[in-house]
Structure 1
Protein backbone atom coordinates (compact mmCIF):
# COMPACT_ATOMS: atom_id res chain seq x y z
CA UNK A 1 0.00 0.00 0.00
CA UNK A 2 2.81 2.41 0.78
CA UNK A 3 4.26 1.81 -2.69
CA UNK A 4 0.88 2.41 -4.31
CA UNK A 5 0.46 5.70 -2.45
CA UNK A 6 3.96 6.77 -3.48
CA UNK A 7 3.20 5.97 -7.10
CA UNK A 8 -0.12 7.81 -6.94
CA UNK A 9 1.54 10.90 -5.43
CA UNK A 10 4.19 10.82 -8.15
CA UNK A 11 1.52 10.50 -10.84
CA UNK A 12 -0.44 13.42 -9.39
CA UNK A 13 2.67 15.60 -9.40
CA UNK A 14 3.24 14.81 -13.09
CA UNK A 15 -0.35 15.08 -14.29
CA UNK A 16 -2.71 17.81 -15.37
CA UNK A 17 -3.71 19.62 -12.16
CA UNK A 18 -7.31 19.65 -13.41
CA UNK A 19 -7.45 15.86 -13.83
CA UNK A 20 -9.54 13.97 -11.29
CA UNK A 21 -8.17 11.18 -9.11
CA UNK A 22 -9.92 8.43 -11.08
CA UNK A 23 -8.29 9.50 -14.33
CA UNK A 24 -4.87 9.58 -12.70
CA UNK A 25 -5.38 6.11 -11.23
CA UNK A 26 -6.34 4.71 -14.63
CA UNK A 27 -3.25 6.22 -16.21
CA UNK A 28 -1.03 4.55 -13.61
CA UNK A 29 -1.96 1.15 -15.04
CA UNK A 30 -0.39 2.13 -18.36
CA UNK A 31 2.89 3.42 -16.95
CA UNK A 32 6.01 1.64 -18.18
CA UNK A 33 7.20 -0.88 -15.53
CA UNK A 34 10.70 0.59 -15.72
CA UNK A 35 9.31 3.97 -14.70
CA UNK A 36 7.44 2.37 -11.81
CA UNK A 37 10.66 0.68 -10.69
CA UNK A 38 12.51 3.99 -10.89
CA UNK A 39 9.87 5.66 -8.71
CA UNK A 40 9.30 2.91 -6.16
CA UNK A 41 12.55 1.02 -6.32
CA UNK A 42 12.72 -2.68 -7.05
CA UNK A 43 10.25 -4.86 -5.19
CA UNK A 44 11.52 -7.46 -2.74
CA UNK A 45 9.86 -10.16 -4.85
CA UNK A 46 11.89 -9.22 -7.93
CA UNK A 47 15.07 -9.06 -5.86
CA UNK A 48 14.39 -12.43 -4.22
CA UNK A 49 13.82 -14.13 -7.55
CA UNK A 50 17.05 -12.73 -8.99
CA UNK A 51 19.03 -13.68 -5.87
CA UNK A 52 17.69 -17.24 -5.85
CA UNK A 53 18.34 -17.64 -9.57
CA UNK A 54 21.92 -16.43 -9.24
CA UNK A 55 22.50 -18.64 -6.20
CA UNK A 56 21.33 -21.63 -8.22
CA UNK A 57 23.87 -21.09 -11.00
CA UNK A 58 26.69 -23.56 -10.44
CA UNK A 59 28.96 -21.69 -12.83
CA UNK A 60 28.77 -18.61 -10.59
CA UNK A 61 31.66 -18.30 -8.07
CA UNK A 62 30.83 -19.70 -4.65
CA UNK A 63 31.40 -16.41 -2.85
CA UNK A 64 28.80 -14.69 -5.05
CA UNK A 65 26.29 -17.51 -4.58
CA UNK A 66 26.79 -17.34 -0.81
CA UNK A 67 26.37 -13.54 -0.83
CA UNK A 68 23.10 -13.95 -2.73
CA UNK A 69 21.83 -16.48 -0.20
CA UNK A 70 22.83 -14.27 2.73
CA UNK A 71 20.82 -11.38 1.28
CA UNK A 72 17.94 -13.72 0.53
CA UNK A 73 18.00 -14.96 4.12
CA UNK A 74 17.67 -11.39 5.36
CA UNK A 75 14.68 -10.78 3.09
CA UNK A 76 13.07 -14.11 4.01
CA UNK A 77 12.80 -13.07 7.66
CA UNK A 78 9.90 -10.81 6.64
CA UNK A 79 6.56 -12.67 6.74
CA UNK A 80 5.29 -11.42 3.38
CA UNK A 81 8.61 -12.15 1.71
CA UNK A 82 8.74 -15.66 3.18
CA UNK A 83 5.32 -16.41 1.71
CA UNK A 84 6.43 -15.03 -1.63
CA UNK A 85 9.04 -17.80 -1.88
CA UNK A 86 6.22 -20.24 -2.67
CA UNK A 87 4.34 -17.75 -4.86
CA UNK A 88 7.49 -17.23 -6.93
CA UNK A 89 8.05 -21.01 -7.12
CA UNK A 90 11.47 -20.63 -5.49
CA UNK A 91 11.25 -23.53 -3.01
CA UNK A 92 12.18 -26.22 -5.56
CA UNK A 93 15.20 -24.16 -6.61
CA UNK A 94 16.32 -23.53 -3.02
CA UNK A 95 15.73 -27.13 -1.92
CA UNK A 96 17.80 -28.23 -4.89
CA UNK A 97 20.73 -26.50 -3.22
CA UNK A 98 20.50 -28.93 -0.29
CA UNK A 99 21.94 -31.74 -2.42
CA UNK A 100 25.13 -33.39 -1.27
CA UNK A 101 26.71 -32.64 -4.64
CA UNK A 102 26.44 -28.91 -3.94
CA UNK A 103 29.25 -26.78 -2.53
CA UNK A 104 29.16 -27.16 1.30
CA UNK A 105 28.97 -23.40 1.84
CA UNK A 106 26.11 -23.05 -0.62
CA UNK A 107 24.30 -25.92 1.10
CA UNK A 108 24.79 -24.33 4.52
CA UNK A 109 23.41 -20.98 3.45
CA UNK A 110 20.50 -22.54 1.55
CA UNK A 111 19.41 -24.19 4.81
CA UNK A 112 19.88 -20.83 6.55
CA UNK A 113 17.41 -19.26 4.12
CA UNK A 114 14.92 -22.07 4.75
CA UNK A 115 15.24 -21.80 8.53
CA UNK A 116 14.71 -18.04 8.42
CA UNK A 117 11.66 -18.33 6.17
CA UNK A 118 9.76 -21.08 7.98
CA UNK A 119 10.40 -20.06 11.57
CA UNK A 120 7.01 -18.54 12.40
CA UNK A 121 4.54 -19.20 9.61
CA UNK A 122 2.45 -22.30 8.90
CA UNK A 123 1.74 -21.28 5.31
CA UNK A 124 5.45 -21.00 4.53
CA UNK A 125 6.17 -24.29 6.31
CA UNK A 126 3.59 -26.06 4.13
CA UNK A 127 5.18 -24.63 1.00
CA UNK A 128 8.59 -25.81 2.13
CA UNK A 129 7.38 -29.35 2.89
CA UNK A 130 5.87 -29.66 -0.58
CA UNK A 131 9.32 -29.10 -2.07
CA UNK A 132 11.27 -30.95 0.63
CA UNK A 133 9.11 -33.57 2.40
CA UNK A 134 10.09 -34.58 5.91
CA UNK A 135 11.54 -38.01 4.94
CA UNK A 136 13.82 -36.25 2.46
CA UNK A 137 14.88 -33.70 5.08
CA UNK A 138 15.69 -36.52 7.51
CA UNK A 139 17.88 -38.20 4.90
CA UNK A 140 19.66 -34.90 4.31
CA UNK A 141 20.30 -34.63 8.05
CA UNK A 142 21.58 -38.20 8.16
CA UNK A 143 23.87 -37.78 5.17
CA UNK A 144 25.22 -34.33 6.05
CA UNK A 145 28.89 -34.35 7.10
CA UNK A 146 29.24 -30.76 8.28
CA UNK A 147 28.20 -29.88 11.81
CA UNK A 148 27.11 -26.31 11.09
CA UNK A 149 24.78 -27.48 8.34
CA UNK A 150 23.33 -30.19 10.57
CA UNK A 151 22.53 -27.47 13.11
CA UNK A 152 20.58 -25.56 10.47
CA UNK A 153 18.62 -28.71 9.61
CA UNK A 154 17.76 -29.22 13.28
CA UNK A 155 16.52 -25.64 13.35
CA UNK A 156 14.28 -26.37 10.36
CA UNK A 157 12.94 -29.51 12.02
CA UNK A 158 12.18 -27.64 15.24
CA UNK A 159 10.06 -25.21 13.22
CA UNK A 160 8.28 -27.93 11.26
CA UNK A 161 7.34 -30.53 13.88
CA UNK A 162 4.11 -28.92 15.04
CA UNK A 163 1.64 -31.78 14.58
CA UNK A 164 1.27 -35.43 15.58
CA UNK A 165 1.39 -36.43 11.92
CA UNK A 166 4.74 -34.73 11.34
CA UNK A 167 6.20 -36.14 14.56
CA UNK A 168 5.20 -39.62 13.41
CA UNK A 169 6.83 -39.03 10.04
CA UNK A 170 10.01 -37.88 11.73
CA UNK A 171 10.29 -41.03 13.84
CA UNK A 172 9.53 -43.52 11.06
CA UNK A 173 11.59 -41.88 8.31
CA UNK A 174 15.21 -42.02 9.48
CA UNK A 175 14.79 -39.29 12.11
CA UNK A 176 16.05 -41.47 14.94
CA UNK A 177 18.92 -42.77 12.82
CA UNK A 178 19.93 -39.17 12.18
CA UNK A 179 20.01 -38.48 15.93
CA UNK A 180 21.98 -41.65 16.59
CA UNK A 181 24.45 -40.59 13.92
CA UNK A 182 25.05 -37.27 15.68
CA UNK A 183 25.49 -38.86 19.11
CA UNK A 184 27.79 -41.53 17.68
CA UNK A 185 29.91 -39.70 15.13
CA UNK A 186 29.75 -36.02 16.13
CA UNK A 187 30.12 -36.19 19.92
CA UNK A 188 33.29 -34.09 19.61
CA UNK A 189 31.33 -31.16 18.14
CA UNK A 190 30.03 -29.47 21.27
CA UNK A 191 27.72 -27.00 19.58
CA UNK A 192 26.12 -29.64 17.36
CA UNK A 193 25.65 -32.01 20.32
CA UNK A 194 23.93 -29.21 22.21
CA UNK A 195 21.57 -28.67 19.27
CA UNK A 196 20.80 -32.37 18.89
CA UNK A 197 20.13 -32.88 22.60
CA UNK A 198 17.98 -29.77 22.79
CA UNK A 199 16.01 -31.04 19.79
CA UNK A 200 15.55 -34.48 21.40
CA UNK A 201 14.33 -32.85 24.61
CA UNK A 202 11.99 -30.65 22.57
CA UNK A 203 10.45 -33.78 21.03
CA UNK A 204 9.83 -35.31 24.46
CA UNK A 205 8.49 -32.18 26.13
CA UNK A 206 6.07 -31.56 23.26
CA UNK A 207 4.49 -34.85 24.28
CA UNK A 208 4.33 -36.37 20.79
CA UNK A 209 4.44 -39.53 20.32
CA UNK A 210 6.19 -40.28 23.61
CA UNK A 211 6.05 -44.09 23.65
CA UNK A 212 7.59 -44.26 20.18
CA UNK A 213 10.34 -41.88 21.19
CA UNK A 214 10.99 -43.72 24.46
CA UNK A 215 11.56 -46.92 22.52
CA UNK A 216 13.83 -45.09 20.12
CA UNK A 217 15.86 -43.67 23.01
CA UNK A 218 17.08 -47.16 23.77
CA UNK A 219 18.88 -47.21 20.42
CA UNK A 220 20.93 -44.15 21.35
CA UNK A 221 24.54 -44.77 22.37
CA UNK A 222 25.52 -44.40 26.01
CA UNK A 223 27.73 -41.35 26.41
CA UNK A 224 29.85 -40.24 29.30
CA UNK A 225 29.05 -36.56 29.67
CA UNK A 226 30.98 -34.29 32.00
CA UNK A 227 28.79 -32.21 34.30
CA UNK A 228 30.54 -29.08 33.06
CA UNK A 229 29.46 -29.71 29.46
CA UNK A 230 27.13 -26.95 28.19
CA UNK A 231 24.57 -29.55 27.15
CA UNK A 232 24.73 -31.65 30.33
CA UNK A 233 21.27 -30.62 31.55
CA UNK A 234 19.61 -31.74 28.32
CA UNK A 235 21.57 -35.00 28.29
CA UNK A 236 20.58 -35.68 31.94
CA UNK A 237 16.94 -35.10 31.02
CA UNK A 238 17.26 -37.50 28.09
CA UNK A 239 19.07 -40.09 30.21
CA UNK A 240 16.30 -39.88 32.81
CA UNK A 241 13.74 -40.69 30.13
CA UNK A 242 15.96 -43.52 28.98
CA UNK A 243 16.05 -45.01 32.50
CA UNK A 244 12.34 -44.35 33.09
CA UNK A 245 10.62 -44.29 29.66
CA UNK A 246 8.40 -41.24 29.22
CA UNK A 247 5.14 -43.08 28.56
Structure 2
Protein backbone atom coordinates (compact mmCIF):
# COMPACT_ATOMS: atom_id res chain seq x y z
CA UNK A 1 0.00 0.00 0.00
CA UNK A 2 2.80 2.44 0.88
CA UNK A 3 4.51 1.80 -2.46
CA UNK A 4 1.23 2.36 -4.31
CA UNK A 5 0.64 5.66 -2.52
CA UNK A 6 4.17 6.77 -3.40
CA UNK A 7 3.50 5.84 -7.02
CA UNK A 8 0.27 7.86 -6.99
CA UNK A 9 2.01 10.93 -5.57
CA UNK A 10 4.81 10.78 -8.13
CA UNK A 11 2.49 10.25 -11.08
CA UNK A 12 0.08 12.90 -9.88
CA UNK A 13 2.71 15.64 -10.02
CA UNK A 14 2.25 18.10 -12.89
CA UNK A 15 4.93 19.79 -14.95
CA UNK A 16 4.67 22.91 -12.77
CA UNK A 17 5.30 20.94 -9.58
CA UNK A 18 8.62 19.92 -8.18
CA UNK A 19 8.27 16.20 -8.78
CA UNK A 20 11.18 14.09 -7.48
CA UNK A 21 13.76 13.33 -10.12
CA UNK A 22 13.49 9.74 -11.31
CA UNK A 23 16.44 7.62 -12.23
CA UNK A 24 16.22 4.62 -14.56
CA UNK A 25 15.65 2.18 -11.67
CA UNK A 26 12.78 4.29 -10.31
CA UNK A 27 11.17 4.53 -13.74
CA UNK A 28 11.33 0.76 -14.16
CA UNK A 29 9.90 0.21 -10.67
CA UNK A 30 6.98 2.57 -11.38
CA UNK A 31 6.29 0.87 -14.72
CA UNK A 32 6.12 -2.52 -13.01
CA UNK A 33 3.69 -1.21 -10.41
CA UNK A 34 1.52 0.29 -13.12
CA UNK A 35 1.21 -3.10 -14.74
CA UNK A 36 1.01 -5.29 -11.63
CA UNK A 37 -2.60 -6.60 -11.36
CA UNK A 38 -1.99 -7.72 -7.79
CA UNK A 39 -1.73 -4.07 -6.75
CA UNK A 40 -5.03 -3.26 -8.45
CA UNK A 41 -6.69 -6.31 -6.88
CA UNK A 42 -5.44 -5.25 -3.48
CA UNK A 43 -7.16 -1.89 -3.83
CA UNK A 44 -10.29 -2.65 -5.85
CA UNK A 45 -10.71 -6.35 -5.22
CA UNK A 46 -10.94 -9.02 -7.88
CA UNK A 47 -13.84 -8.80 -10.32
CA UNK A 48 -16.83 -10.93 -9.33
CA UNK A 49 -16.36 -13.05 -12.46
CA UNK A 50 -12.86 -13.97 -11.32
CA UNK A 51 -14.03 -14.68 -7.78
CA UNK A 52 -16.82 -16.98 -8.97
CA UNK A 53 -14.45 -18.89 -11.25
CA UNK A 54 -11.89 -19.25 -8.48
CA UNK A 55 -14.57 -20.50 -6.09
CA UNK A 56 -15.51 -23.24 -8.53
CA UNK A 57 -11.86 -24.09 -9.16
CA UNK A 58 -11.43 -24.68 -5.43
CA UNK A 59 -14.68 -26.63 -5.11
CA UNK A 60 -13.87 -28.94 -8.02
CA UNK A 61 -10.35 -29.62 -6.80
CA UNK A 62 -10.57 -32.86 -4.84
CA UNK A 63 -7.31 -31.96 -3.09
CA UNK A 64 -9.04 -29.00 -1.49
CA UNK A 65 -10.04 -29.86 2.10
CA UNK A 66 -13.77 -30.41 2.50
CA UNK A 67 -14.17 -27.46 4.86
CA UNK A 68 -12.50 -25.17 2.34
CA UNK A 69 -14.80 -26.47 -0.42
CA UNK A 70 -17.80 -25.72 1.77
CA UNK A 71 -16.53 -22.20 2.44
CA UNK A 72 -16.02 -21.66 -1.28
CA UNK A 73 -19.62 -22.72 -1.89
CA UNK A 74 -20.80 -20.25 0.75
CA UNK A 75 -18.77 -17.52 -0.94
CA UNK A 76 -20.19 -18.43 -4.35
CA UNK A 77 -23.74 -18.38 -3.00
CA UNK A 78 -23.20 -14.88 -1.62
CA UNK A 79 -21.80 -13.74 -4.95
CA UNK A 80 -24.80 -15.00 -6.94
CA UNK A 81 -27.19 -13.16 -4.64
CA UNK A 82 -26.30 -10.26 -6.93
CA UNK A 83 -28.56 -10.51 -9.97
CA UNK A 84 -25.82 -9.45 -12.39
CA UNK A 85 -23.40 -12.03 -11.04
CA UNK A 86 -26.06 -14.73 -11.31
CA UNK A 87 -26.79 -13.73 -14.90
CA UNK A 88 -23.07 -13.99 -15.71
CA UNK A 89 -22.93 -17.69 -14.80
CA UNK A 90 -23.92 -18.59 -18.37
CA UNK A 91 -21.45 -16.42 -20.33
CA UNK A 92 -18.71 -17.55 -17.96
CA UNK A 93 -19.58 -21.19 -18.68
CA UNK A 94 -20.10 -21.94 -14.99
CA UNK A 95 -23.57 -23.53 -15.04
CA UNK A 96 -22.42 -26.96 -16.30
CA UNK A 97 -19.72 -27.02 -13.64
CA UNK A 98 -22.22 -26.20 -10.88
CA UNK A 99 -24.75 -28.77 -12.09
CA UNK A 100 -22.08 -31.50 -12.11
CA UNK A 101 -21.61 -30.86 -8.39
CA UNK A 102 -25.13 -32.21 -7.76
CA UNK A 103 -23.49 -35.65 -8.05
CA UNK A 104 -20.41 -34.93 -5.94
CA UNK A 105 -19.54 -37.71 -3.46
CA UNK A 106 -19.79 -35.27 -0.52
CA UNK A 107 -23.35 -34.52 0.64
CA UNK A 108 -22.37 -31.05 1.86
CA UNK A 109 -21.02 -30.18 -1.58
CA UNK A 110 -24.19 -31.43 -3.28
CA UNK A 111 -26.25 -29.40 -0.84
CA UNK A 112 -24.13 -26.29 -1.37
CA UNK A 113 -24.32 -26.54 -5.16
CA UNK A 114 -28.12 -26.79 -5.02
CA UNK A 115 -28.21 -23.82 -2.67
CA UNK A 116 -26.09 -21.78 -5.09
CA UNK A 117 -28.37 -22.74 -7.98
CA UNK A 118 -31.56 -21.90 -6.14
CA UNK A 119 -30.25 -18.50 -5.09
CA UNK A 120 -29.02 -17.72 -8.60
CA UNK A 121 -32.34 -18.41 -10.33
CA UNK A 122 -34.62 -16.88 -7.72
CA UNK A 123 -36.48 -13.86 -9.16
CA UNK A 124 -33.93 -13.74 -11.99
CA UNK A 125 -35.45 -14.33 -15.46
CA UNK A 126 -32.04 -14.27 -17.15
CA UNK A 127 -30.61 -16.96 -14.88
CA UNK A 128 -33.83 -18.99 -15.06
CA UNK A 129 -33.61 -18.99 -18.84
CA UNK A 130 -29.98 -20.12 -18.78
CA UNK A 131 -30.42 -22.85 -16.14
CA UNK A 132 -30.77 -26.29 -17.72
CA UNK A 133 -30.40 -28.48 -14.65
CA UNK A 134 -34.02 -28.95 -13.57
CA UNK A 135 -34.00 -32.64 -14.46
CA UNK A 136 -30.85 -33.13 -12.38
CA UNK A 137 -32.43 -31.33 -9.43
CA UNK A 138 -35.62 -33.39 -9.63
CA UNK A 139 -33.55 -36.57 -9.67
CA UNK A 140 -31.92 -35.51 -6.39
CA UNK A 141 -35.29 -34.60 -4.88
CA UNK A 142 -36.80 -37.94 -5.86
CA UNK A 143 -33.98 -39.99 -4.33
CA UNK A 144 -35.31 -41.22 -0.97
CA UNK A 145 -31.81 -42.38 -0.02
CA UNK A 146 -30.39 -38.87 -0.39
CA UNK A 147 -29.46 -36.89 2.72
CA UNK A 148 -32.42 -34.86 4.05
CA UNK A 149 -30.55 -31.57 3.82
CA UNK A 150 -29.65 -32.20 0.18
CA UNK A 151 -33.25 -33.01 -0.74
CA UNK A 152 -34.41 -29.87 1.06
CA UNK A 153 -32.02 -27.71 -0.93
CA UNK A 154 -33.13 -29.45 -4.13
CA UNK A 155 -36.71 -28.45 -3.37
CA UNK A 156 -35.55 -24.90 -2.64
CA UNK A 157 -33.92 -24.86 -6.07
CA UNK A 158 -37.07 -26.19 -7.75
CA UNK A 159 -39.20 -23.59 -5.98
CA UNK A 160 -36.87 -20.76 -7.00
CA UNK A 161 -36.90 -21.93 -10.61
CA UNK A 162 -40.62 -22.46 -11.20
CA UNK A 163 -42.23 -19.62 -9.28
CA UNK A 164 -43.13 -16.60 -11.43
CA UNK A 165 -41.55 -18.43 -14.37
CA UNK A 166 -44.11 -19.77 -16.81
CA UNK A 167 -41.45 -21.44 -18.97
CA UNK A 168 -39.90 -23.10 -15.93
CA UNK A 169 -43.29 -24.22 -14.64
CA UNK A 170 -44.10 -25.72 -18.04
CA UNK A 171 -40.86 -27.68 -17.99
CA UNK A 172 -41.48 -28.69 -14.37
CA UNK A 173 -44.89 -30.13 -15.24
CA UNK A 174 -43.51 -31.89 -18.34
CA UNK A 175 -40.73 -33.45 -16.24
CA UNK A 176 -43.30 -34.91 -13.82
CA UNK A 177 -42.24 -32.42 -11.17
CA UNK A 178 -45.64 -32.20 -9.49
CA UNK A 179 -45.63 -35.94 -8.83
CA UNK A 180 -42.14 -35.72 -7.38
CA UNK A 181 -43.18 -32.93 -5.01
CA UNK A 182 -46.21 -34.95 -3.90
CA UNK A 183 -43.85 -37.89 -3.29
CA UNK A 184 -41.78 -35.60 -1.07
CA UNK A 185 -44.90 -34.91 1.00
CA UNK A 186 -45.36 -38.65 1.36
CA UNK A 187 -41.81 -39.82 2.04
CA UNK A 188 -39.82 -36.80 3.20
CA UNK A 189 -38.96 -35.60 6.68
CA UNK A 190 -40.69 -32.70 8.40
CA UNK A 191 -38.53 -30.03 6.76
CA UNK A 192 -39.07 -31.45 3.28
CA UNK A 193 -42.81 -31.77 3.86
CA UNK A 194 -42.95 -28.16 5.02
CA UNK A 195 -41.17 -26.91 1.90
CA UNK A 196 -43.32 -29.09 -0.35
CA UNK A 197 -46.54 -27.73 1.15
CA UNK A 198 -45.23 -24.19 0.76
CA UNK A 199 -44.43 -24.75 -2.92
CA UNK A 200 -47.75 -26.44 -3.69
CA UNK A 201 -49.63 -23.59 -2.05
CA UNK A 202 -47.58 -21.00 -3.95
CA UNK A 203 -48.26 -22.76 -7.25
CA UNK A 204 -51.98 -22.84 -6.54
CA UNK A 205 -52.00 -19.14 -5.73
CA UNK A 206 -50.11 -18.29 -8.91
CA UNK A 207 -52.28 -20.58 -11.03
CA UNK A 208 -55.47 -18.90 -9.82
CA UNK A 209 -54.19 -15.31 -9.79
CA UNK A 210 -56.66 -13.29 -11.85
CA UNK A 211 -54.13 -10.51 -12.38
CA UNK A 212 -51.94 -12.82 -14.47
CA UNK A 213 -53.01 -13.22 -18.12
CA UNK A 214 -54.90 -16.48 -18.54
CA UNK A 215 -52.51 -17.80 -21.15
CA UNK A 216 -49.64 -17.50 -18.66
CA UNK A 217 -51.18 -19.56 -15.88
CA UNK A 218 -52.37 -23.19 -15.80
CA UNK A 219 -55.46 -22.35 -13.72
CA UNK A 220 -57.70 -25.20 -12.66
CA UNK A 221 -55.69 -27.70 -14.70
CA UNK A 222 -52.92 -27.49 -12.13
CA UNK A 223 -55.44 -27.93 -9.30
CA UNK A 224 -56.89 -31.00 -11.03
CA UNK A 225 -53.42 -32.47 -11.45
CA UNK A 226 -52.55 -31.96 -7.79
CA UNK A 227 -55.74 -33.76 -6.78
CA UNK A 228 -55.26 -36.59 -9.28
CA UNK A 229 -51.71 -37.17 -8.07
CA UNK A 230 -52.99 -38.01 -4.60
CA UNK A 231 -51.79 -34.91 -2.79
CA UNK A 232 -54.72 -34.90 -0.37
CA UNK A 233 -54.17 -38.51 0.68
CA UNK A 234 -50.44 -37.79 1.07
CA UNK A 235 -51.24 -34.75 3.18
CA UNK A 236 -53.59 -36.76 5.40
CA UNK A 237 -50.79 -39.21 6.14
CA UNK A 238 -48.30 -36.38 6.64
CA UNK A 239 -50.65 -34.50 8.99
CA UNK A 240 -50.90 -37.51 11.26
CA UNK A 241 -47.11 -37.92 11.30
CA UNK A 242 -46.49 -34.23 11.96
CA UNK A 243 -49.02 -34.14 14.79
CA UNK A 244 -47.46 -37.18 16.44
CA UNK A 245 -44.01 -35.58 16.17
CA UNK A 246 -45.18 -32.15 17.29
CA UNK A 247 -43.93 -30.51 14.08
CA UNK A 248 -46.08 -27.38 14.28
CA UNK A 249 -44.38 -25.34 11.53
CA UNK A 250 -44.75 -28.07 8.93
CA UNK A 251 -48.32 -28.79 10.04
CA UNK A 252 -49.20 -25.11 9.64
CA UNK A 253 -47.94 -25.22 6.03
CA UNK A 254 -50.07 -28.33 5.45
CA UNK A 255 -53.16 -26.46 6.62
CA UNK A 256 -52.30 -23.52 4.39
CA UNK A 257 -51.96 -25.79 1.38
CA UNK A 258 -55.24 -27.59 2.08
CA UNK A 259 -57.19 -24.37 2.48
CA UNK A 260 -55.71 -22.93 -0.72
CA UNK A 261 -56.64 -26.11 -2.57
CA UNK A 262 -60.17 -26.06 -1.16
CA UNK A 263 -60.64 -22.38 -2.04
CA UNK A 264 -59.28 -22.70 -5.58
CA UNK A 265 -61.86 -24.82 -7.38
CA UNK A 266 -64.92 -26.94 -6.71
CA UNK A 267 -62.88 -30.04 -7.47
CA UNK A 268 -60.24 -29.01 -4.97
CA UNK A 269 -62.92 -28.29 -2.38
CA UNK A 270 -64.49 -31.73 -2.79
CA UNK A 271 -61.14 -33.47 -2.66
CA UNK A 272 -60.26 -31.80 0.63
CA UNK A 273 -63.58 -31.83 2.44
CA UNK A 274 -64.75 -35.27 1.40
CA UNK A 275 -61.57 -37.17 2.25
CA UNK A 276 -62.29 -39.34 5.31
CA UNK A 277 -58.61 -40.05 6.02
CA UNK A 278 -57.86 -36.34 6.11
CA UNK A 279 -60.81 -35.56 8.38
CA UNK A 280 -59.66 -38.24 10.82
CA UNK A 281 -56.04 -37.07 10.76
CA UNK A 282 -57.03 -33.46 11.38
CA UNK A 283 -59.38 -34.43 14.19
CA UNK A 284 -56.52 -36.25 15.88
CA UNK A 285 -54.15 -33.35 15.25
CA UNK A 286 -56.58 -30.79 16.64
CA UNK A 287 -55.73 -31.58 20.23
CA UNK A 288 -52.01 -31.83 19.55
CA UNK A 289 -51.47 -28.23 18.44
CA UNK A 290 -53.86 -26.25 20.58
CA UNK A 291 -56.08 -23.32 19.73
CA UNK A 292 -53.96 -21.73 17.00
CA UNK A 293 -54.86 -24.43 14.47
CA UNK A 294 -58.56 -24.72 15.25
CA UNK A 295 -59.90 -22.17 12.76
CA UNK A 296 -57.95 -23.58 9.84
CA UNK A 297 -58.89 -27.12 10.74
CA UNK A 298 -62.55 -26.13 10.99
CA UNK A 299 -62.48 -24.52 7.57
CA UNK A 300 -61.15 -27.74 6.11
CA UNK A 301 -63.41 -30.20 7.96
CA UNK A 302 -66.62 -28.15 7.76
CA UNK A 303 -69.05 -29.25 5.06
CA UNK A 304 -69.30 -27.09 1.96
Same fold, TM-score > 0.5, yes or no: yes
**Which of 54, 60, 72 lines up with 2:58 in the alignment?**
54
| CA deviation after TM superposition for structure 1 residue 12, in Å | 4.8
Q: Secondary structure at the match of 2:267?
A: coil
Q: Secondary structure at the match of 1:58?
A: coil
Q: How does 1:1-247 map to 2 (within 5 A)?
A: 12-15=8-11, 17-18=13-14, 31-99=35-103, 101-127=104-130, 129-130=131-132, 132=133, 134-143=134-143, 145-161=146-162, 162-186=164-188, 189-207=189-207, 208-217=217-226, 218-220=228-230, 222=233, 223-224=236-237, 225=239, 229-237=251-259, 240=262, 244-245=266-267
Residue 200 of structure 1 contacts residue 238 of structure 1 at CA under 8 Å; is this kept in 2?
A: no
For the aligned residue pairs, the C-alpha RMSD in angstroms reads 3.2
Residue 200 of structure 2 contacts residue 257 of structure 2 at CA under 8 Å; is this kept in 1?
A: no
Residue 72 of structure 1 contacts residue 113 of structure 1 at CA under 8 Å; is this kept in 2?
A: yes
Q: Secondary structure at the match of 1:55?
A: helix
Q: Deviations over 1:32-75 (max 9, x none)?
A: 32332233333333222111111112343322211110121122
Q: Secondary structure at the match of 1:206?
A: helix
Structure 2 CA distance for partners of 1:234 and 1:149, relative to 1, 3 Å: farther
Tell me how far apart the structure 2 counterparts of residues 58 and 113 of structure 1 sit (CA, whole Å): 19
| CA deviation after TM superposition for structure 1 residue 239, in Å | 5.4
Instruction: Looking at secondary structure, tell me which structure has more helix per residue.
Output: 2
Residue 83 of structure 1 contacts residue 123 of structure 1 at CA under 8 Å; is this kept in 2?
A: yes
Q: How many residues of Structure 1 are paired with residues of Structure 2 in the alignment?
A: 228
- Tell me, which stretches of 5 or more residues in structure 1 are unaligned? 1-8, 20-26
Tell me how far apart the structure 1 counterparts of residues 96 and 151 of structure 2 sit (CA, whole Å): 20
Residue 223 of structure 2 contacts residue 265 of structure 2 at CA under 8 Å; is this kept in 1?
A: no
Tell me how far apart the structure 2 counterparts of residues 142 and 219 of structure 1 sit (CA, whole Å): 15
Tell me how far apart the structure 1 counterparts of residues 93 and 36 of structure 2 sit (CA, whole Å): 25
Tell me how far apart the structure 2 counterparts of residues 10 and 197 of structure 1 sit (CA, whole Å): 62
Which 4+ stretches in 1 moved above 4 angstroms? 9-12
Q: Deviations over 1:179-202 (max 9, x none)?
A: 13212212xx22211110110111
Q: Secondary structure at the match of 1:86?
A: coil
Q: Secondary structure at the match of 1:87?
A: coil
Residue 77 of structure 1 contacts residue 117 of structure 1 at CA under 8 Å; is this kept in 2?
A: yes
